[in-house]
Amino acid sequence: MRASPTVFAPDKKPWYLRTWAISAAVVLALAIVVISDYPRPANKADRAGVYATLQTEIWGDVQSCNASLNDTIIAVGEILSHKSTDVVTANQIAATNEPNCNPSGSSDLLDLASINVPNILTNYKIKTVVFDLDNWTFPNAAAIINDLKGLLAHPNSASLRADIVQRQQLMDKLAAESQSLMNADAHALGVPTKQLNLLSLKDYPASILG
């Protein structure tokens, strides 16, 4: 079994995940500084520019966790469906991926949790989106990765499967609410919406759900 290209340790992320996140943060900070120096109240165009950058930052912050959960599902699913017998590698994939869904091991999730909403965007639902996505990643996605690892040792565990389903159903609700709020805010500001495209229960193979 070979980990898919999206798997990476938290301290060895691909350059594109590190570089764009830093750039987005810098652009957002500069945008806020510039707008704060305007000799007039911020208008819709000002809010749209800052929101577009902030939306991209939020979107990017959850993608490494989403990819890590997906990779773990694939690896464990192959074991449980008997397409592979390489349990050692599947365990390694799960162990490597869990920190990407935990703020203590992911700079992306630390960034997400520490996002400050600019004053010009306080009337929008950004705080709710951030709160929902924080909960999507941790503790829920992280717990599912650990449950999946547990299934490698206890493939007939009904309790592990039940926890996976319960947590993913909650995550689906959080993702749907986040996307709906982002769509509404983006529409109000005339900004293209970022599609989160987060994993949902329908993406799990039958070998995991039982």
CB 150 within 8 A of CB 104: no
Count CA atoms closer than 13 A to 45's CA, side-chain side. 2
Note whether residue 6 is domain-resident.
no
Q: What is the mean pLDDT of residues 95-110?
A: 97
Q: What is the pLDDT of residues 11-34, one digit of tens each?
A: 445 434 444 455 555 545 555 544
Percent of the chain predicted with pLDDT > 90: 80
Note whether residue 1 is domain-resident.
no
Given this model, what pLDDT does residue 35 score?
46
Domain that holds residue 148: 15-209
Closest among 53, 47, 58 to 124, alpha carbons compared: 47
CA distances from 155 to 53, 75, 148, 174, 184 (A): 43, 14, 9, 28, 42
Name the domain count of the chain. 1
Note whether residue 26 is domain-resident.
yes
Amino acid at residue number 17: L
Closest among 95, 113, 90, 73 to 200, alpha carbons compared: 73
Q: What is the pLDDT of residues 129-174, one digit of tens each?
A: 999 999 999 999 999 999 999 999 999 999 999 999 999 999 999 9
Where residue 198 sits, what CATH number does that domain have?
1.20.1420
Note whether residue 108 is domain-resident.
yes
Given this model, what pLDDT does residue 14 score?
47
Note whether residue 4 is domain-resident.
no
Give the residue with greater pLDDT, 39 vs 15: 39
Phi-psi region of 98 (alpha: psi -120 to 50; beta: other; left: phi over 0): alpha
Note whether residue 10 is domain-resident.
no
Given this model, what pLDDT does residue 98 score?
97
Note whether residue 78 is domain-resident.
yes
pTM, rounded to two decimals: 0.81
Note whether residue 88 is domain-resident.
yes
Given this model, what pLDDT does residue 40 score?
55
Average pLDDT, the chain: 88
